[in-house]
Amino acid sequence: MASTTLMGGDLIQALTIHEGFERLATAIAPMVRTETLALEDALGRVLASPLISPIDVPAFRNSAMDGYALASPDLSGEPPYVLPVEGTSLAGHPMTEALSSGTAVRIFTGAALPDGADSIVVQEDTVRLDEGRVQINVRPSPARFVRPVGHDVAAEHELAARGATLDAFLIAAATTSGIERVNVFERPRVGVFATGDELREPGARLGPGEIYESNRRAIRMLLQGCPLDVVDLGILPDDEAATKAALASAGSEFDALVTSGGVSVGDADYVRQAIEARGSIDFWRLNLRPGKPFAFGRVGSSCYIFGLPGNPVSSIVTMLLLTRPALIALAGGNARLPSAFSAPLAESAQHEAGRDEYQRGRFVVQDGELRVTTYGDQSSNRLSSISGADCLFLLPGTQTHFEPGERVDVLPFRGLL
């Protein structure tokens, strides 16, 4: 549920993550520009047209095992049967003649079945006899080890719909269907700004009160592999006029902007005012910890802007939970919140009620079961609360104390890929 706070005379709605996501998904009009790419170059890109297999895969009946191909109606009575072996079919070297009645053909995995054969007997169920004969010890069941035409994919079958992302699996599937070029959406151009007078580039000497700027780099790296053309636009000073000018100029050049910092209620926070002055705010503030000061809107008429909080962990969490899925939607991809699984807490957990909190967690295995536990001090300035963590897990704002064994929603950072 959204919470309402009275601030500076304004009623300000702080949205839940789900409400925020709905607002983003409704507001964002996906990319329309498309381009054709070699499949080889299309990893991570979003399909602008459905991907259709032009051929049957496989295009010929073939054997799933090493063994013998035969025609089951040729076998009468109970096994064993003895048949002469006439011919061999190897992968890439099919036997071109049809099977002669009452004979067997030596066959290997992936080799074409000769016409007339309907069954494969696996090598382990046979004994090779002299004079080119084979003893078959079982009654074969037709089709058991035969891969029919189109077994993997039939011609004209849709491998993936418009909006699907070309991952390694889909690229492999398209390759096996003989597809070499794909129609994809162009990558939206995304500009990334940091804001703050205290921020210095890595490598610089730090003066009093200064810190190294890390959000821009984290944001760019979290967007790596996404179908986006991400451009680093540097650090903006805490200056209203400079912020307005920079957003207006970048807004005419980019499809989306991501900023960090300057979006809270401090005296040196100008990002929200600059968005309001040069465009419009769709929503500001999430009922979320970390990540409360988050703004979404537009600058100019066609550029979306995501104003992320400055605290490094808040900026990463709102990037992962909202901004990245929204940018993928902008890129024409399927927009969805990251999907959680449920796991029990290994230890008790607590937080201040009122806001949904995504704590950084570690996985532990207890009694053979995967559990999750809070990973250290959860202050949103501490990058060390996230850099060694395995996941985020949700403590709902309706409850302060959670017992060991209570189940929570978990978003793992890493999977198999």
Binding site residues, Mg ion, CB under 5 A: 196, 261-262, 310
Residue 103 or 264: which CB sits closer to ligand AMP?
264
3-state secondary structure of 124: helix
Is 245 strand, coil or helix?
A: helix
Say how many CA atoms lie within 13 Å of 70 toward its Cβ: 27
Query: Smaller CB distance to ligand AMP: residue 198 or 240?
Result: 198
Nearer to Mg ion, 266 or 338 (CB): 266
Among 63, 165, 311, 385, binds ligand AMP (CB under 6 A): 311
Distance of closest approach, residue 234 Cβ to ligand AMP, in angstroms: 11
H helix or E strand, kind and range, residue 407: strand 407-412
- Select from Mg ion, ligand AMP, none the partner in contact with residue 188, using the beta carbon and a kind-dependent cut-off of 5 to 8 Å: none
d(CA 77, CA 142) in angstroms, rounded, equals 16
The answer to whether the CB of 5 falls within 8 A of the CB of 12 is yes
Could you say which DSSP state residue 134 is in?
Answer: E
CB of 371 to Mg ion, least distance (A): 37
Q: Does 114 bind ligand AMP (CB under 6 A)?
A: no
Judged by CB, which is closer to ligand AMP: 310, or 397? 310
Q: What type of residue sits at position 5?
A: T
Q: Is 291 in the site for ligand AMP (CB under 6 A)?
A: no
Per CB under 6 A, 53 contacts ligand AMP: no
Q: How far is CA 412 from the centre of its chain?
A: 12
DSSP state of 321: I
Per-residue string for binding with ligand AMP, 115-154, x by CB under 6 A? ----------------------------------------
Give the x-and-dash track for 176-195 against ligand AMP (CB under 6 A).
------------------x-
Please, which of residues 200-229 interact with ligand AMP by CB under 6 A? 211, 213-216
- State the Cα–Cα distance between residues 363 and 9, nearest whole angstrom: 44
Contact partners, residue 190, CB within 8 Å, separation at least 6: 223, 228, 229, 230, 231, 254, 255, 256, 257, 258, 327
Binding residue count for ligand AMP, defined by CB under 6 A: 20
The nearer residue to Mg ion, 37 or 268, going by C-beta atoms, is: 268
Among residues 34 and 381, whose Cβ is nearest to ligand AMP?
A: 381
Window 247-276: contact mask with ligand AMP (x via CB under 6 A): -------------xxx-x-x--x-------
- Choosing from 140, 310, 325, 332, the residue that interacts with ligand AMP (CB under 6 A) is 310
| Contact partner at residue 194 from Mg ion, ligand AMP, none, CB < 5 to 8 Å by partner kind | ligand AMP
Interatomic CA distance for residues 363 and 227, integer angstroms: 30
Choose from Mg ion, ligand AMP, none: what does 214 bind? Cβ within 5-8 Å by kind: ligand AMP
Q: How far is the CB of 315 from ligand AMP (least distance, A)?
A: 7
Residue 312 found at the interface with ligand AMP (CB under 6 A): yes
Helix axes 271-278, 240-251, angle to 10 degrees: 50
* Residue 109 binding partner per list ligand AMP, Mg ion, none, with a CB distance cut-off of 5 to 8 Å that depends on partner kind: none
The residue ranges of DSSP E strands in 221-378, in sequence order, are 229-236, 256-260, 279-284, 288-289, 295-299, 303-308, 341-344, 349-350, 356-366, 369-374
Nearest approach, Cβ of 353 to Mg ion (angstroms)?
28
Minimum separation from the CB atom of position 263 to Mg ion (A)? 9
Which residue, judged by CB position, is nearest to ligand AMP in the bound state? 310
Distance CA 361, CA 339 (A): 16
* Amino acid of residue 200: R
The closest of 392, 413, 398, 399 to 291, measured between CA atoms, is: 392
Applying the rule CB under 6 A, the residues between 374 and 403 that interact with ligand AMP are: 381
On whether the CB atoms of residues 345 and 372 are closer than 8 A, the answer is yes
How do strand 288-289 and strand 349-350 relate by DSSP bridges? unpaired
Min. distance of Cβ 398 from ligand AMP in angstroms? 27
Q: With contact defined as beta carbons under 8 Å apart, do 32 and 302 qualify?
A: no
Question: Which residue, chain included where needed, has tokens 């390694």?
Answer: 168
Instruction: Say if residues 71 and 117 touch (Cβ distance below 8 Å).
Output: yes
Task: Tell me if 163 contacts ligand AMP by CB under 6 A.
Answer: no
The answer to whether 290 contacts ligand AMP (rule: CB under 6 A) is no
215, interface contact from ligand AMP, Mg ion, none, CB < 5-8 Å by kind: ligand AMP
- 94 beta partners: none
User: Using CB under 6 A as the criterion, which residues of the chain lie in contact with ligand AMP when the complex forms?
Assistant: 194, 196, 198-199, 211, 213-216, 260-262, 264, 266, 269, 309-312, 381
